[in-house]
Every structure is written in structure tokens, then in C-alpha cells.
Amino acid sequence: MHIVVCIKQVPDSAQIRVHPVTNTIMRQGVPTIINPYDLFSLEEALRLRDKFGGKVTVLTMGPPMADTSLRKALSMGADAAVLLSDRCFAGSDTLATSYALASAIAKITETEPVGMVFCGKQTIDGDTAQVGPGIAKRLELNQLTYVERIDAVDETARKITVERRAEGGVQVLSTSLPCLITMLEGTNVVRRGTMEDMLRAARTEIPMWSAAKAGITDTALCGLKGSPTVVKKVFAPPPRKEKAKQIDVTGKTADDIAAATLNALFAADARLEETLFRQAGH
Amino acid sequence: MEKFDAIVVGAGPSGNAASYTLAKAGLKVLQVERGEYSGSKNVQGAILYAKSLEKIIPNFREDAPLERHIVEQRLWMMDDKSHCGTHYRSDAFNEELPNRYTIIRAQFDKWFNRQVQEAGALVVCETTVTELARDASGKVIGIKTDRDDQIVYADVVIMADGVNSLVGQRSGLRKEIKPEHAALAVKEMHFLPREVLEQRFNVKDNEGVAIEALGTVTMGLMGTAFLYTNGESLSVGIGCLVSDFRDHGTSPYVMLERFKKHPSIAPLIEGSEVKEYAAHLIPEGGFNAIPKVHGDGWLIVGDSGQFVNAMHREGSNLAMETGRMAAETVIALKTEGKAPTEANLARYRKALEDSFVMKDLKKYRKLPEIVHKNRQFFTTYPELMSKAAETWFRVDGVDKLQKEKEIFRTFRNGRTLRGLIGDAVKIARAWR
């Protein structure tokens, strides 16, 4: 079975800084990573391939430099990669993004029919969780979101059974293929590729598809033009006024440092001491 | 698994120089780096000496990420309150092809490695070479990595695995570095707006200043401190021998804090924002600590071979020189159709000896031992110099002859006449 995994290159949120004066996100120099939620889907797709055979293609839409994320996915074991990159995609919201990705998947299907599409649960920069369902709707795929386990895949009957985390419990769902799955975080651990994967990933020429190459004829549905979402205002939470307190620990024992830290905390908040001791049963 | 003409272990300056040179000559090269990318784990002051890179990439100035070219060098001897020393500033350093630059290694190494890839080498990151693979005769035939049990084969393996040479150690090529042969350096990146920095250091455009300091800032340990100007930041650091840190019980960061609070340094970094903190070992054992650098199917380059001239603060240039020379040896053998046996690879050792690399290291071969046994060069003398300068410049009604006598007396009390003469002889010996 041919599986397509959609990934997104995102700024590493652990390393983002907010400009102290303008309050805007400083993107320059921030390293990029594969959206962490996507990795659970990638690993699940790789496991299905290992079990049933077939092929995993990773797909992303982004600037030319997004090929580093695709190469990374290849080094983790994906078989092929496609980079969807065109100026007309700039400024896409989730509607336009799902349109572009769905078009590319449809194009891939023309030569190699796609049995399953995997997406991350959501991205860490947009947090909408809309692109996966958007693709499913456009390609008329059955959609299984927040999946925590794939119980069974029957290729001949073209059936899949999964466990889906829902409010108040777990749903066991069964549907027919082709389908779109978004995996829940923590459901697996993404693998380290073998040395052979690394060499292959380093050598692969990643094909870059323009809108036209992806079979998109109406660019009015792409990028800013195809995005009804309007960002009205971007703001960062106001920085905290109070400065961090420093405790001089040179030459002190661990006990003294702990006591000094506690005293400083209690001095800052009188109720804290009382609450803590009440909880401790004193 | 596949076979390559050469595998280079590590992607610092020596590994990149070797890989680039090999790939440019059309050899099939694999470079393996354990960091996320070339530069992600690499730390240096950092000053780039242009000549050594020019020999490899003549037009590197066109797109390499360079911070500032150095137009002013300050050498400071410090006591707790003051510094005295020399400044050399020259407009001659504002030349078309400047001689020294400050760089930020994470960016520079990334750039260098991109040139390596464009030259045709295959670069694999996030992969640790666990050991060298050998055949029954002991000849090195490739590498093993932490990814799987597969051997990746190569005619020759170039070890550019850094100061600790963990791979070299695991493979029995080298012993663990001795604490008295390694300096532990820590540094911080202090960010300052460009205009503030340029006013503070009296520079414009891309001019830069380098300050090297020694004295009481190292609290009696053998080492030096530094402050370099980058485009919009200052690299501030200090480094001392690992064995000294061990014996003295001081932490490097305590020493760095002291240096930053020194009245000569504090105003230079005032108002800056610290964004990075890094530490690294520097091999400072000199000529006598250099291990065997070639064998059957292998070569050692860069820090891994202890190629650092501690006296002149040269390391990354020697790394590039040794990386290039190792690569050229491999290329020459390949062209002549000769196998990379221990005997044939001895050409590399010969090339090193004919170059300034070994000549310089040999010249200072006694230096580590002499300064090791004579701490006064790092403690007493800077203090004496500062005191002398203070006496000399203070106008207080004491007649000048009296001042001269007082200065001489302080020196004699500090070191005794015999000590002073002995020190002069020692320095002369170390220099030869």
C-alpha cells in the first residue's frame, strides 16, 4: 500500500524569542524542526509499511528550504518525498493549505494510488488541527482523528479498525480504505534510520512541485487569495514586570541553599507556606 | 554496505577541510558528524585566520559568514584593579583581503559544510562513529556507527573527531588526553546593538578588536581570558588547564564571573544580553603530546592530533592545514595508484614537518612544561607590571629616581634577583 504522510516544517518553539521592544516573534535564526505531532504519524505509517509492504511518501508544502524536513523524514526511513513549493502558496490559511495538499495527493494518486494519508494531530505553530480533516473532506476520504492505536488493517477487504481517544473514553472505529488518519501524540516513538537510510536521504534529489505540477489550475484558491482567514491582531502577552530574584549560593551546602530558596519563596508569598504545610498535614 | 574512497569522522574545521579537498579532487567521500549539523557542537573563541582557509577556498570571503576583521589587538596583563599591556592597531589591517576575522562557529561551520556538500561529499549528521572496522591484519577498512551493525567501508579513514578523539580512543589509535594537556575554556555571547559596540571599541564598518588577557583573573591557574568583538555581540571567555581546575577546586564559571566584573572589562560588556553559554576543551600539550598521526588505512587531523599552538592562540587554522594535507596525501596516493598503507601515508607526517604546523609546534615544544612549573608568569609578573605602571604614572611629589628604585625593589621582592634572571633564561629557552 502506498501511504502519504503530510508533514510541516515549523520553528522550534522551544527556541523562539519574543522581541523585548516590539513584542513580535523573532523568527530570524530560529531553528526549524518537523512538527513534533507529525512524527507519530510518520512512525505509524512506517510500521504499516514494514508489516504490509508498500511505500511511504512524505509530502510538505513550504519554501524551498523545507526540503531539510523532508530529508530528515527520509533519514528516518520514508521512501520518497515531495516538496510542494510555489510563490502562489504564500500566506495560505488552513483552507488553502488543505486544498494545495489535497491536489498534490490527487496528483500522486494518478501514478501510484494512495491507500492512506497520515497527518499530525495539529501543528505546534498554528494549533488549528484543521488541515488533516480539510484534506479528508476534499479527497472524500474517511477520516479518523486522534487515533491512539491501529488495531487491524485488512488490505484485501480494504478495512481498517482503530482506537480513537474521545471525551470520556475510547472509541473503536472501523472504516473502509482509503482513509485519512491523524495520530495522537505519545502513541509510538519515532525510529532512528539505519546507516543505509542516512546515505539514501543524503543522496535523494527531492522533487519540487509547483502549483501547476501538482495539477492546480486555479491559483485563486491558493495562498493569500484562497485564504478567507484574516489575522486582525498579533500580540504577545505583556512581559512580567518583576525581575527574577537571585540567591548567592557560593560556598553554601545543599541544605542551606534549599532553606534559602524556601525562605525566599515564602517571603514572596506569605500564603504559600501555610498552604504547603497544610497539604503536608502539619 | 557501500565502499568510499575516504571516510572523514567529524565536521569541524579539520574534517571540513579534509572532506572538501577530497571531494573537489573527485574522490568518493563520506563525512560523518555526530551533531545535528556541522557546527552544532563546535566551540571556539573564535578567530579565523584567513590564510589557511584561503588555501582551500580562495574566494571564501564572498559568502562565508564573517563577523569582523581584526584591526586592533590588545594584550593585557591584569591584576585585580588594573590592566597594563600593549595595543596594536593598524589601518594596514583594513586591507582588501583581511588576515583575521571573528566568526561564530555554529554559522561558519554550517557554511563550510555546505561547501563540502556542494563539492560532492556525502554528509551524514546525527550519527556517532562507534569504532573503526579493521581486517585480520589490523588494517582499518571502514567505520561502524551507532545506527546499526553495518560496516561502511573505505580505503582510508580520516579522524577529525576532536580534542577528546573518542573514536580514536575506542579504536586504540590514541590515549585519553591528559588533564595537564588540555585547557577547559568557557565563553559567553553578549549581545549589544551594533552602534553601541562600535562606539565602545572605537571601530566602524566591519572592524573588530581582540583582547587577550592574563593575570590574577585566572586566580593563579595557568590560562588566559579573552574578549572578541563580533558583528552584534562580544565573545567573552576564559580558559585554564583542566589539571589546574582540578587541583584548585575553582569552577570555570566562577572565574568567568570574576573576569566580567573586572573594572577593565565590566564597562565594555555593560548592558549586553547574554544569549549563549558554551564550554570546550582545547588541546594544549603541544609538540610532545602529538600522538601517532597515521597508520594502516588511517590519518589523524586537527584537535584530535593535538595540533594547537597555545602560545599564539592558533588552532582552527592548524586544523584546516592538517585536514588539507591529509586529504592531499590521500589524493596523491590515489592518483599514483598506491595503497594507503602505513608506509605510504607517512607522507602526511612528512608534509606536516615541512610546514609551519610542525615547525611552530616544535619551536615551542618546551613551553608547556616550563610555564607549568613557573606559575609566576601568570601570577606574579602581571601583578608586578601593573604595580610598576601605577607607580610610574601616579604624580605624587615622589622624585622619579625614587620611583625607579621602588619599582625595581618591588620586582626584586616579588621574584628575587636570581628568580628574575632565571625567568628570563626560561622564557628564552621556551621560545627557542
Q: Residues B3-61: pLDDT tens digits?
A: 999 999 999 999 999 999 999 999 999 999 999 999 998 999 899 999 999 999 999 99
Q: Write the class of the CATH domain B3-66+103-177+288-354.
A: alpha beta
Distance CA A75, CA A78 (A): 7
Contact call for B145 and A202, based on CB within 8 A: no
Output the average pLDDT for chain B.
Answer: 93
- B174-212 per-position pLDDT tens digit: 889 999 999 999 999 999 999 999 999 999 999 999 999
Q: Which pLDDT tens digit goes with each residue over A193-251?
A: 999 999 999 999 999 999 999 999 999 999 989 999 988 887 777 777 877 888 888 88
- Is the per-residue pLDDT at A280 higher than 80? no
Q: Residue B371: pLDDT above 90?
A: no
Q: Which residue has the higher pLDDT, B259 or A249?
A: B259
What pLDDT digit, counting tens, does each position of B53-90 carry? 999 999 999 999 999 999 999 999 998 999 998 999 99
Q: Which of A21, A28, A69, A195 to mutate to test the interface with B (most CBs of B within 10 A)?
A: A195
Give the whole-angstrom CA distance, residue A196 versus residue A180: 29
Which residues of chain A make contact with B1, given a CB cutoff of 8 A? 195-196
pLDDT score recorded for residue A150: 96
pLDDT of B302 over the 70 cut:
yes
pLDDT at residue A28 tops 80: no
- Distance separating alpha carbons of residues B289 and B14, to the nearest angstrom: 18
- Per-residue pLDDT at B213 exceeds 70: yes
- Domain layout of chain B by residue ranges: 3-66+103-177+288-354, 180-283, 369-431
Give this complex's ipTM. 0.85
Superfamily of domain A2-221 in the CATH hierarchy:
HUPs (3.40.50.620)
Q: CB of A122 within 8 A of CB of A185? A: no
Under the banding of pLDDT at 50, 70 and 90, the label for residue B373 is: confident
pLDDT for residue B324 is more than 70: yes
pLDDT score of A6: 97
- Percent of chain B past pLDDT 70, that is, above it, reads 100
Residue B419 has what pLDDT? 85
User: Given an 8 Å threshold on Cβ–Cβ distance, is B124 in contact with A202?
Assistant: yes
pLDDT top residue among A281 and A105? A105
SS3 A250: coil
pLDDT at A16 over 80: no
pLDDT in tens, A35-87: 999 999 999 999 999 999 999 999 999 999 999 999 999 999 999 999 999 99
Q: What is the pLDDT of residue A21?
A: 66
Out of A92-106, B223-237, B361-375, least confident range:
B361-375
Residues of B in contact with A75 (CB under 8 A): 126
What are the b/e assignments for B234-243, b being 16+ CB within 10 Å? bbbbbbbbbb
Nearest by CB: B124 against A192, A199, A250: A199
| Cα of A51 to nearest chain B Cα, Å | 20
Of A198, A203, A250, the CB nearest to B127: A198
Chain A residue nearest residue B30, CA to CA: A199
Answer for the pair A81, A57: CB distance below 8 angstroms, yes or no.
Answer: yes
pTM of the predicted structure, to 2 decimals: 0.88
Topology (CATH level 3) of domain B180-283: D-Amino Acid Oxidase; Chain A, domain 2 (3.30.9)
Per DSSP, what are the bridge partners of residue A55? A2
Give the model's pLDDT for residue B48: 96
* B251 CB within 8 Å of a chain A CB: no
DSSP A236: P
Q: What is the pLDDT of residue A20?
A: 64
Q: Which pLDDT score is estimated for B428? A: 81
Cis before A260 (ω within 30): no
Nearest 5 degrees, angle CA A88-CA A94-CA A97? Answer: 40
pLDDT for residue B432: 67
- pLDDT recorded at residue A70: 97
The pLDDT assigned to B296 comes to 97
What does the DSSP assignment read for B137-178?
Answer: TS-EEEEEESS-SPEEEEEEEEE--TTTTHHHHHTTSSPPPP
3-state SS, one letter per residue, for chain B:
CCEEEEEEECCCHHHHHHHHHHHHCCCCEEEECCCCCCCCCCCCCCEEEHHHHHCCCCCHHHCCCCCEEEEEEEEEEECCCCEEEEEEECHHHCCCCCCEEECCHHHHHHHHHHHHHHCCCEEECCCCEEEEEECCCCCEEEEEECCCCCEEEEEEEEECCCCCCHHHHHCCCCCCCCHHHEEEEEEEEEECCHHHHHHHCCCCCCEEEEEEEEEHHHCCCCEEEEEEECCCEEEEEEEEEHHHHHHHCCCHHHHHHHHHHCCCCHHHHCCCEEEEEEEEEEECCCHHHCCCCEECCEEECHHHHCCCECCCCECHHHHHHHHHHHHHHHHHHHHHCCCCCHHHHHHHHHHHHHCHHHHHHHHCCCHHHHHHHCHHHCCHHHHHHHHHHHHHHCCCCCCHHHHHHHHHHHHHHHHCHHHHHHHHHHHHHHHC
pLDDT over 80 (residue A279): no
Tell me what pLDDT residue A23 has: 64
Q: B299 near B22, Cβ under 8 Å?
A: no
Partner residue opposite A195 with nearest CB, options B123, B147, B254 = B147
Q: Where are the domains of chain A?
A: 2-221, 240-282
